[in-house]
């Protein structure tokens, strides 16, 4: 699932949304060798080593607010993370839930990524390439009036590498979870509300 949709589900179902990307972006706000090395990987569009993603994920899902479920955004990213996550779930006596695949054309995703801006205060997502998601005042959050920020990897060049990483490492997860019979596809090529309506239907069923 992606960030915008995860935020919608979080609001509707009152369960936390966990993004390994956000957890990593928090790490790189710090200083030191580890933060520098991770920052470089994030800016390149490659994946960070599995141990790092898994440690952050395991710590987060062990917190009390995750007891009744959670939404994962951006995890797992490859088959070895999925296998490790299966073991973690077994230890925690939890089941894998559902996997929702947001189907989207490469070029539409590129345009959305290149136009995405976030409010650093409330985390609301805007998009200057999508009519109904542009901020009312250019560059400022409608709610907080603070300056919007753009992720350093949300540019066309890093996007191409992120897309290649997706094809090579992440897409094989669809068949990994298909074999478990828990994959649902959603057409995410139109509006956020149309995407969300399909997700709500799946979760309702």
Site of interaction with ligand AMP (CB under 6 A): 19-21, 24, 41-42, 45-48, 53, 74-77, 81, 153, 162
C-beta nearest to ligand AMP: residue: 21
Count the residues in the chain. Answer: 205
Query: For ligand AMP, which is the closer residue by CB, 30 or 197?
Result: 30
In a 13 Å sphere around the CA of 140, the CA atoms on its Cβ side amount to 8
CA dist., res. 70 & res. 185, Å (int): 19
Q: Whole-number minimum distance, CB 88 to ligand AMP, in Å?
A: 13
Q: Whole-number minimum distance, CB 137 to ligand AMP, in Å?
A: 26
Query: For ligand AMP, which is the closer residue by CB, 79 or 128?
Result: 79
Query: For ligand AMP, which is the closer residue by CB, 83 or 201?
Result: 83
3-class DSSP state of 5? helix
Output b/e per residue, 169-204; b: 16+ Cβ within 10 A.
bbeebeebbeeeeebeebebeeebeebbebbeeeee
Query: For ligand AMP, which is the closer residue by CB, 37 or 197?
Result: 37
Q: Whole-number minimum distance, CB 84 to ligand AMP, in Å?
A: 11
Q: Phi and psi of 73, rounded to 5°?
A: -125, 110
Q: Whole-number minimum distance, CB 182 to ligand AMP, in Å?
A: 18
């Amino acid at each position: 699932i992606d960030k915008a949709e995860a935020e919608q589900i979080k609001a509707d179902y009152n369960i936390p949304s966990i993004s390994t990307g956000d957890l990593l972006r928090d790490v790189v706000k710090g200083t030191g060798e580890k933060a520098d090395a991770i920052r470089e990987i994030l800016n390149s569009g490659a994946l960070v080593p599995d141990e790092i993603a898994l440690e952050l994920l395991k710590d987060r899902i062990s917190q009390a607010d995750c007891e009744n479920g959670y939404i994962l955004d951006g995890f797992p990213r490859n088959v070895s993370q999925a296998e490790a996550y299966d073991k973690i779930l077994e230890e925690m006596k939890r089941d894998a839930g559902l996997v929702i695949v947001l189907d989207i054309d490469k070029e539409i995703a590129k345009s959305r990524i290149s136009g995405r801006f976030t409010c650093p205060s409330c985390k609301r997502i805007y998009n200057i390439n999508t009519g109904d998601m542009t901020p009312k005042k250019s560059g400022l959050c409608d709610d907080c009036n603070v300056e919007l920020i753009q992720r350093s990897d949300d540019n066309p060049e890093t996007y191409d590498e992120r897309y290649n990483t997706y094809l090579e490492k992440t897409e094989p997860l669809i068949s990994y979870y298909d074999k478990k019979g828990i994959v649902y596809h959603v057409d995410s090529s139109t509006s956020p509300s149309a995407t969300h309506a399909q997700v709500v239907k799946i979760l309702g069923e």
